[in-house]
Amino acid sequence: MSRPSVVVLVWAGFLVVLGLVLLAWTRSPLMNGLLFGAAAGTVLLALLALRSREPGRRFVPDVSVPTALTAVGIGLAVTGSAVGTWLLLIGSGLAVVGLAGVVRELARA
């Protein structure tokens, strides 16, 4: 329990046990799929935690306008899928510009 990946695996184990008990009652692919799917996702998280290493020294900007721009762009694009193509295009454009800015920030760091 002293390592994060073990904690996540313990939790995945709980989910598997609960999934097995559910199997005794029903073979519904949806119900079992949801619970075992969550367990599988948790195992993936555990693997990610296992691979995770302490990050090196890095520069963190105080302000990242491109990140905010990307989020607003995504928001407008998603909303635009209901409102109209014009908003979808504006949002997508903003998101692309924002992402380019983030890449530039990362390259500078």
Partner 1 sequence: MTTVASERPVPRGLLAWAAATDHKRVGVLTGATALVLLLVNGSFALVMRSELAWPGTQIVGLKTYNELFTAHGSGMIYLVVTPLAFALAVYFVPLQVGAAEIAGPRFALLGFWLYVCGAVAMYSGFLTQEGAARFGWTAFPPLSDSTNSPGIGSDLWLLGVCLAVGGMFVLSGCVLATIVRLRAPGMTMLRLPVFCWTMVVTALMTLTTFPVLIVALTLLELDRRGVGVFTSAGGPAAYQHLFWFYGHPVVYVMFFPFVGAMGEVIATFSRRRFFGYHAFVISLLAFAALSMSVWAHHMFTTGQVTNQYFSLTSTLIAIPAGIEYFDLIGTMIGGSILFRTPMLFAIGFLLLFLLGGLSGIMVASPPIDYHVHDSFFVVAHFHYTLFAGSMFAFFAAVYYWFPKVTGAFLREGLGKLHFLFMFVGTNLTFFPMFLLGEKGMPRRVGDYRGSDGFTGLNLLSTIGAFLTAFAIAIFVCNVFVSLWRREPAGADPWEGQTLEWATSSPPPRHNFDALPAVRSFAPLLDVREGKT
Q: Which DSSP letter does residue 2 get?
A: -
Secondary element (H or E) of residue 28: none
Residues numbered 14-43 forming contacts with partner 1, rule: CB under 8 A: 14-15, 18-19, 21-22, 25-26, 30-31, 34-35, 38, 41-42
Q: Distance (Å, rounded) from C-alpha 26 to C-alpha 2?
A: 36
61 belongs to the binding site for partner 1 (CB under 8 A) = yes
**Among 71, 89, 100, 103, interactor with partner 1 by CB under 8 A:** 71
Q: Distance (Å, rounded) from C-alpha 87 to C-alpha 95?
A: 12
Q: Taking the complex as a whole, how short is the minimal distance between the CB of residue 32 and partner 1, in angstroms?
A: 11
